Structure 1
Amino acid sequence: MAQCVRLCLLCWALGLLAAPLENMSSADRRSKHPEHPEPSQAVLQRQKRSWVWNQFFVLEEHTGTDPLYVGKLHSDVDSGDGSVRYVLTGEGASSIFTIDEETGDIHARKRLDREQQGFYRLRVRAEHKLTRVPLEDESELIVKVQDINDNQPRFLEEAYSAAVQENSPPGTLVVQVSATDADDPTYGNSARIVYSITHGQPYFSVEARTGIIRTALPNMDRELRDQYVLVIQARDMEGQMGGLSGSTSVTVTLTDVNDNPPRFAHKRYEFSVLESASVLLAVARLKAADADIGSNAELDYSIVDGDAAGAFSISTDEETREAVIILQQPLDYETKSTFSLKIEATNRNIDPQFATFDPFSDTATVEIIVEDVNEPPVFSTPVSHFQVSEAVKVGTVIGTVSAHDPDSSSSAIRYSIDRNTDLERFFHVDVVSGAVSTAKPLDREAEPQHNITIISWENLDPSQVSRGLAVISVLDINDNAPEFAMQYETLLCENAASAQVIQTISAVDIDDPPGSHCFRFSLDFSAGNNSNFTLRDNNNNTASLLTRRSGFRRVDQPLYLLPVLMVDSGHPALSSTHTLPVHVCECDEDGFAQVCGAALSSTYTPLHLHLCYTFILTCSLTLLAVMLWRLVSRRKAPHLEAERSVRENTVQYDDEGGGEQDTEAFDMAALQNLTVKQSSELQEETAPVCPASALTTLPDSVFQQCLRSRLAVVDSDSSAPPWDSLQSYVFEGCGSLAESLSSLDSTRSDSQQSSGDLQRFSTLAELYRDPEHSGGSSEL
């Protein structure tokens, strides 16, 4: 129907254009063509030739099989005799549009799409068919493609998403959607779009002309439903029947507001914890639920009642949003076995418009039950301090340690000392009472303080052990006499004047009196009538040695030994006498010593020298007695041979020795095995190497051969101990009554025999020191 209307309008327009042409006179028509000019007007007047045509229209999307008629061109020079030829050029000429050269009819050969191209510009001309001479000026022809409703509306986005707060009032803007139509908006209603909602009612609405989506219902609750999917339709032709439509989806998410208070799942919770739990341990976890999300669900927990002693604290686990109850103090089942805490959960971010909830929080009761465990003994004090005089007798009780069983069983406690802290075993503790007493004499100067560990355990359960510290301070007594502060060597010039100070001395005392030390100095009574020197006490723990005369001579007496008596201020006071040597020297003009009468001595006093000499003499006499005893032993009856089977070994350990502990550090089995082996070789070792008849006539080579034989035996003995030893070669020499290298008690006292024995001894010793036969550290 619409196409018919358009064709009628086109015909009516063409009729209006053709009417003036029919009324024109032939003269008028001729005046428009130069081929037939009037003679009188050929030069005076020229009128423009005109085409008989108007703007052409063609419907898009023609579905017929025959070419679509567009229009007709006709020139007034065309008399219908077939001499005029019409030519069409420009956009789509020949490919889309064709023209009948004789009649001027224009047809469209293809389907046209206005959305691809809305009009075409063509150029037309009329020319003589045979000569191709233009009969008309070339003119432009516009073919306009007429629109039909062949495009549906399309939304700018395939899907929309939007968000709106929950509980928003009706009419709250959510989002605006927009669609376009490719049809001609200036022709008809093909591009006039209206919007409607096909899915999503009654929660939301859309404005028909603008596409604005708004909320339609009040109190939409995110906790009940947090997302809606709407379907919006756009229809052209203003929504009339026959129009085309397109649709899109809109996902609307309700955003959360803090409109829900926290709520505990239970009003009472119960947890248990061992009384041995360590401080800062998390003993309980609980959570209050909040229907909100994000920051609106953030909670703060607090203990509002039941923790007056501050035994617990509470914090929030930010990841799980749980309340974490943390132990702050040690627990004791015997003291308190149950704690009842009131816990409150409160929203951290409260929205003022929803703060009408009263209160915007929740509370719950948490029962924490302390469970009993078997605990080790507890000392009454972790560190016990005792004082004891270094003069106390062994066995004196210096104090008592005390521990008790904290459990309800109240087991008896036993005590001992950790010997790693009392290696010298100075102290003893009573296993039942805990009384600490001395076990050895104490010496403050050696160790002024002892720190020992006392071990206590339950008698019923010895695995329950605890340790306490006992600090024992040793109090000083005056048990050490004063001594010289240093080793003094006093030099006295021969030309020293009388009353001249030649030395200042001081003293030290390793004791520690309550007050400071106070020493008194004087010459010993043995030097009381000394006419050469005098000692002056300076009353400041020093003393000065002065000359009592002048004119000392080194040649007369090069050395003076002055006994100095020093007395401390203890109770009772102790004294000591030390010798101060004074050397007489030749001095230069400046008083510097050049040559002294005697070598500078050490601090040994005559008493010390006397003791040294006595010790040396005693050692010499003892050694001589031992040698004589061995000499006699060698001449005893054969029944003593078994005792000689044990070889004497000189073994060096480089160790001070540890008493019975040496039995753990040294294996005596090696020496025992050696003794057994040596007993089997007794006869071989004790047998004389050379015949008795030839003892006085053996040459030196026999001695050398004997020594080599013994060395070979020792070197090949795999059971010999690895340390250096003093080997007994059982060869006492020849020509001596004592069967010894020594010439003592020998019947032959001539020098020839003695010199021969000494020569043999030298040969033996030289051979023994040979590196090939000795490790270098053995001694003959």
Structure 2
Amino acid sequence: KIWCCLLGTHQLNSCLGIQLSASDILLRQKRNWVIETFTFDEGYSGAYPLYLGRVNIKLTEIHGPGVDKEPLNLLKIDNKTAEIWVMQPVDREKHDQFKLIFQAYKKEKGDINVEMGINVDIIDTNDNEPKFNNDMYEVTIEEAPSQGTELINVTATDRDSTEKNRKFSFSIESVSPTPQNFEFVINEEPDSGNGTISFKGCLDHEKAQKYTLIVKATDHGQPKPLSSSTTVIINIEDGNRHRPVFTKQKVRLQGVLISRLQVTDEDTRGTKAWKAKYKIQGDTNNNFRIDTDPETNEGLLYVQKVACKSSFTLLIQRAFENIYFAQETGD
């Protein structure tokens, strides 16, 4: 007979949920049947040790992870009472199940005939927030990209085991300085953990050379969603968006040569008779002066001082001669 629930063959088959005779069981040496499964929530925050339950079978020595294999001493099984206890917290992301093995034996001879199993399943709780791959992201772009241009990608991961706790969404929590006439947006690639930041509107370097975004990843776990954030810096380079414009210039005219007056004289070049002398008439404020070029005999007309008038009429005479030249100057 086998020590399992009750000692009879029919009771043994019922306990194991199989249709085998006692002789079949004796022939199946080292065969493993799971006779009980317990569950433990990794989010349990109470006192330890924690009672899980009792196995309705006489136990021999039990082996397996959590008992005599790593992680050691996490589970405690009382061979006399068949009670199972959890001795410390368990992280499902490291251990999702513990499979324990014990031996059933024939009472009369004590021969070991079959291995049986007890499973302890760890229930996932939302104990991991999504985490970004980088604490900070940074990109530099020109100020004139097309609306909707992808600026930068961010990536996050959540270590929780089940999909309901592992799934998360991105959001832009803040932008500094506050955008004017445009906005940053983030689009998600489903089930990839990637978010792409783009913009709507027009980026203008003259309004801001840098924007600092706080991007948040929030999971969908219950009862309380968990989240983390990262910083994204977007630098805006000045683009060629403006034509150069002339502004009012201040020009210094005093002493500027404005005209060379040419004369012809048949006298011998370089003699006193050949040399010309010039005189300005009509310039009552002495705004101009005229000198003689000793090499060419030309009259060199200069601005002597700046006046508010926009035009002048000057009469230029060569000395001892009639008027040879009259010239009107403007702006």
The structure showing larger relative contact order (alpha-carbon pairs under 8 Å, at least 6 residues apart) is 2
Aligned equivalents of 1:105 and 1:198: distance in 2?
50
Deviation, 1:203, is 2.0
Match of 2:251, SS? Answer: strand
Match of 2:199 among 197, 215, 240: 215
Aligned equivalents of 2:137 and 2:154: distance in 1?
8
Which structure has more helix as a fraction of its residues?
1
Q: Look up the match of 2:269.
A: none
Q: Structure 1 residue 203 and structure 2 residue 203: aligned?
A: no
Aligned equivalents of 1:114 and 1:177: distance in 2?
27
Q: Percent identity?
A: 25
Q: Look up the match of 2:225.
A: 243
Distance 1:139 1:117, change over 3 A: same
Q: Structure 1 residue 175 and structure 2 residue 152: aligned?
A: yes
Aligned equivalents of 1:139 and 1:42: distance in 2?
15
Residues 479-558 of structure 1: pairs in structure 2 closer than 5 A = none
Q: Structure 1 residue 156 and structure 2 residue 133: aligned?
A: yes
Match of 2:230, SS? Answer: strand
Aligned equivalents of 1:42 and 1:177: distance in 2?
62
Deviation, 1:178, is 1.4
Match of 1:211, SS? Answer: strand
Aligned equivalents of 1:53 and 1:93: distance in 2?
18
Aligned equivalents of 2:148 and 2:80: distance in 1?
69
1:233-291 CA deviation, whole Å, 9 max, x = no partner? Answer: 110017x7720111111111223321122345542333899xxxxxxxxxxxxxxxxxx
Distance 1:111 1:178, change over 3 A: same
Q: Give, as a single letter, the amino acid of the residue that structure 1 aligns with 2:60.
A: Y
Residues 656-671 of structure 1: pairs in structure 2 closer than 5 A = none
Deviation, 1:145, is 2.1
Deviation, 1:101, is 0.4
Q: Structure 1 residue 190 and structure 2 residue 165: aligned?
A: yes
Q: TM-score, structure 2 length as denominator?
A: 0.60
Aligned equivalents of 1:233 and 1:205: distance in 2?
12
Deviation, 1:45, is 8.9
Deviation, 1:108, is 1.1
Q: Look up the match of 1:57.
A: 39
* Structure 1: gaps of 5 or more residues: 1-20, 33-40, 76-83, 274-305, 309-332, 340-780
1:617-642 CA deviation, whole Å, 9 max, x = no partner? Answer: xxxxxxxxxxxxxxxxxxxxxxxxxx
Contact 1:87 1:126 in 2 (8 A): no
Match of 1:107, SS? Answer: strand
Q: Give, as a single letter, the amino acid of the residue that structure 2 aligns with 1:87.
A: E
Deviation, 1:141, is 4.3
Q: Look up the match of 1:232.
A: 215
Match of 1:28, SS? Answer: helix
Deviation, 1:188, is 4.7
Contact 1:52 1:73 in 2 (8 A): no
Q: TM-score, structure 1 length as denominator?
A: 0.27
Match of 2:203, SS? Answer: coil
Deviation, 1:168, is 3.0
Q: Structure 1 residue 113 and structure 2 residue 80: aligned?
A: no
Q: Give, as a single letter, the amino acid of the residue that structure 1 aligns with 2:95.
A: Q
Distance 1:164 1:193, change over 3 A: same
Match of 1:137, SS? Answer: strand
Distance 1:197 1:85, change over 3 A: closer
Contact 1:85 1:128 in 2 (8 A): no
Q: Look up the match of 1:98.
A: 76
Match of 1:145 among 104, 122, 140: 122
Aligned equivalents of 2:99 and 2:32: distance in 1?
19
1:35-92 CA deviation, whole Å, 9 max, x = no partner? Answer: xxxxxx99899565885723433211432223223444344xxxxxxxx543222222
Q: Look up the match of 2:263.
A: none
Aligned equivalents of 2:39 and 2:259: distance in 1?
95
1:311-355 CA deviation, whole Å, 9 max, x = no partner? Answer: xxxxxxxxxxxxxxxxxxxxxx9755869xxxxxxxxxxxxxxxx
Over 6 Å off, 4+ runs: 41-45
Say which one has the larger Rg. Answer: 1
Deviation, 1:170, is 2.6
Distance 1:144 1:338, change over 3 A: farther
1:472-522 CA deviation, whole Å, 9 max, x = no partner? Answer: xxxxxxxxxxxxxxxxxxxxxxxxxxxxxxxxxxxxxxxxxxxxxxxxxxx
Q: Structure 1 residue 88 and structure 2 residue 70: aligned?
A: no
Contact 1:162 1:251 in 2 (8 A): yes
Residues 293-442 of structure 1: pairs in structure 2 closer than 5 A = 335=293
Deviation, 1:111, is 0.7
Contact 1:163 1:255 in 2 (8 A): yes
Deviation, 1:165, is 2.8
Paired residue total: 243
* Structure 2: gaps of 5 or more residues: 15-20, 261-290, 294-299, 304-331
1:405-444 CA deviation, whole Å, 9 max, x = no partner? Answer: xxxxxxxxxxxxxxxxxxxxxxxxxxxxxxxxxxxxxxxx
Distance 1:205 1:85, change over 3 A: closer
Aligned equivalents of 2:90 and 2:259: distance in 1?
90
